[in-house]
Amino acid sequence: MSKPHRQEQESAKREISEVAPNVLRMQLPIRMPGLGHVNMYALIDERGAAVVDPGLPGPDTWFAIKDRLKQAGLAPKHVHTVIVTHSHPDHFGGATRFAREANAEIVAHRSFRFGVLESDDAEETDVSVEDLAASGEDDDAHRQVVQSWRRESTPWGGRRPGPPFLTRLKWRVFHALGHSFVPQISKPVKAGDVLRLAKREWFVTHTPGHTEDHICLHDPAEGVFLSGDHVLPSITPHISGLTLNKDPLDAFFDSLNRVAALENVKLALPAHGHPFDDLAGRCEAIKQHHYDRLDTVKRIGRELGPSNVRAYMQRLFKERSWGEMAESETYAHLEHLLHRGEAARRRDAAGFLIYETS
């Protein structure tokens, strides 16, 4: 039986297209599980262009970026602004080079954080206990989540999601040599901020869930919504369990509800896959997917009895998807059930979390 077609898996096409007034879609190649391209959008104005999500770091992506820009009569030097929707490398890889070669301003949410993949300096990359207290999210298990950001482990006993060891080692070497690809954010933004792009105003919407620092941009004048990875057309984005939110899945539901309620959205422009029109309908479909998953997690709990996150994960996901990201998302679902009063948790002798949903 063949797997269903997923737009997000399609290979990048070289051709560019105008998907909205002064907005060009440029597909950049990536090789990541379940993904074949990332959409870099160029927003054209009298100063040149702003680009959204300039792909992975590396020469192959940079070659593709220059090729796509050239088709639009542009060059990297014409890019005055880079908007990064969230802190995953396939969305900010080219940002540092644009800053270096064009003195481009780099825009991202004020909580932008790439984690500890390049640096072991916790003060430089991690959320502090003071941040946790200020957020109001302060219980023992959640405190361990935040503290786990300083090491490779997680509260549930697995490894933190991240690239393979050799990739992380290469990034650390580049960082030590002063060639970090993680951008310095020159214009941090928050929900409600207004950006002048493509000759009109775009409103920042903070949409935690896929990552804590995810933002989308809404252009009510033309009815356009840049959705990043928050809302994708044919797959559901990964939900991270390692955030400052006690209930990461609830934060994602809240983000989806706010996006679905936006007025005058005619076209959604995702970071992967094709533009689509029914944003509110797609938000509802993604929520329903997670409601179904919550029911499945409860059933798994009844069958397994008290179990750790890995045991739940191995029943919730197909074997080809087993790993750190699947564990993180499983943890997010278990924590949601916990905060709804539909699960209990404790620690085993090793200090890791055990959940019971029966």
Query: How does pLDDT run along the chain (358 residues), one tens digit per residue?
Result: 556 679 999 999 999 999 999 999 999 999 888 899 999 999 999 999 999 999 999 899 999 999 999 999 999 999 999 999 999 999 999 999 999 999 999 999 999 988 533 333 322 333 333 333 334 444 555 555 555 444 557 878 766 666 555 555 655 655 555 567 899 999 999 999 999 999 999 999 999 999 999 999 999 999 999 999 999 999 999 999 988 889 999 999 999 999 999 999 999 999 999 999 999 999 999 999 999 999 999 999 999 999 999 999 999 999 999 999 999 999 999 999 999 999 999 999 888 899 999 7
Q: Could you tell me the pTM of the whole model?
A: 0.87
How far does the chain reach from its first CA to its final CA, in angstroms? 34
pLDDT digits (tens, 9 = 90+) for 126-163: 333 333 333 444 455 555 555 544 455 787 876 666 65
- Give which of 35, 31, 38 is closest to 54, Cα–Cα: 38
Alpha helices in the chain (DSSP H): 59-71, 89-92, 95-102, 122-125, 129-135, 140-148, 165-176, 248-260, 279-304, 309-316, 324-339
Fold topology of 7-114+182-277: Metallo-beta-lactamase; Chain A (3.60.15)
User: In the chain, where are the structural domains located?
Assistant: 7-114+182-277, 295-358
Q: Can you read off the two tokens belonging to residue 40?
A: 């870099």
DSSP string, 220-247: TTTTEEEEETTS-SSSPPP--S-SS-SS
- Give which of 281, 236, 277, 283 is closest to 257, Cα–Cα: 283
The listed CATH number (3.20.20.70, 1.10.10.10, 3.30.70.250, 3.40.50.1820) that belongs to domain 295-358:
1.10.10.10
Q: Can you read off the two tokens belonging to residue 6?
A: 């997923």
23 burial type by CB count under 10 A (0-12 exposed, 13-18 middle, 19+ buried): buried
- The enclosing H or E element of 308 equals strand 307-308
Whether 285 contacts 237, CB under 8 Å:
no
Whether 17 contacts 2, CB under 8 Å:
no
pLDDT digits (tens, 9 = 90+) for 243-262: 888 999 999 999 999 999 99
DSSP string, 284-307: HHHHHHHHHHHHHHHHHHHHH-SE
Instruction: Compute the distance between CA of residue 43 and CA of residue 53 in angstroms, rounded to an integer.
Output: 12
pLDDT digits (tens, 9 = 90+) for 29-40: 998 888 999 999
Radius of gyration of the chain (CA): 20
